[in-house]
Amino acid sequence: MNSTARSPISLPGRVVVFDYGEVISVEPTAANRAELLAIAGVADVDADAFWTAYWAPRAPLDAGTISIREYWDAVAATMGRQWDTATVHLLWVCDVTGWMSVNTATLAVIERLVAGGTRTALLSNAGADYSGFFRNGSFGHLFEQHFISGELHLVKPDAAIYQHVLDALGIAADQMIFIDNRADNVAGAEDLGITGHVFTSAEQLSAFLETAQVGVSA
């Protein structure tokens, strides 16, 4: 085992801000996707059309400009369907549950940062319905603050959301390190002078932060 695998990572004067989806979380499983299709009453032959309809109104949902009901109504309309309130609830539960599984290796890296006294925060494009889970769930205590697009009515990579985070944390752009799995979101942060890292694995993230730690210590 690498001797640094569990050692603290100390980045004094810096705040490491993490995306949630596919950084802390893992993507929904095939079983979860199949369950969502079953609840929606969508046959396998129509699966591609469903997922296109699923993603199309996601940005306004994440921005908090449409409700959960309005989101699923938009998906239904694209599919030429109508879902009653009970079905929408089941779709919502299945969808949210699918995004709740976490990458334990990423959490271990965050714990190393916290152990090293490094400030951390969460910045996610997600509906406001995720706020309780992010703040009060099993890993909520690892973050100093939680920034959720559905509450802020701003979404990455809009420069305004990064500026809001900087202001709320009381730091300058060069004091923030931003971790996200999407290159466009990282580029949006870097445009403001924030240090960015495109997440591909917890191992690469660990190596990136250890290198940053050496730079701070030098």
pLDDT tens for residues 114-129?
999 999 999 999 999 9
pTM of the entire predicted model: 0.93
The reply to whether 149 and 86 lie within a common domain is no
144 pLDDT higher than 50:
yes
Q: Residue 185's domain is classified under what CATH number?
A: 3.40.50.1000
Instruction: Please give the tally of structural domains in the chain.
Output: 2
- Whether 74 and 130 share a structural domain: no
- Looking at residue 68, its pLDDT comes to 97
Please check whether residues 19 and 118 belong to one and the same domain: yes
Q: Are residues 153 and 178 in the same domain?
A: yes
Examine the domain organization and report whether 81 and 131 are in the same domain: no
Q: Which residue has the higher pLDDT, 26 or 216?
A: 26
The model's confidence at residue 1, banded by pLDDT at 50, 70 and 90, is very low
Q: Name which residue leads in pLDDT, 61 or 5.
A: 61
Is the residue at 200 inside a domain?
yes
Average pLDDT over residues 98-112: 97
Task: Print the domain residue range for 196.
Answer: 15-26+102-217
Same-domain check for residues 123 and 40: no
- Name the band, by pLDDT with cuts 50, 70 and 90, for residue 214: confident
**CA distance linking residue 148 with residue 164, whole number of Å:** 11
Nearest residue to 51 via CA among 80, 15, 75: 75
Is 40 within 8 Å of 83 (Cβ atoms)?
Answer: yes
pLDDT for the residue 216: 66
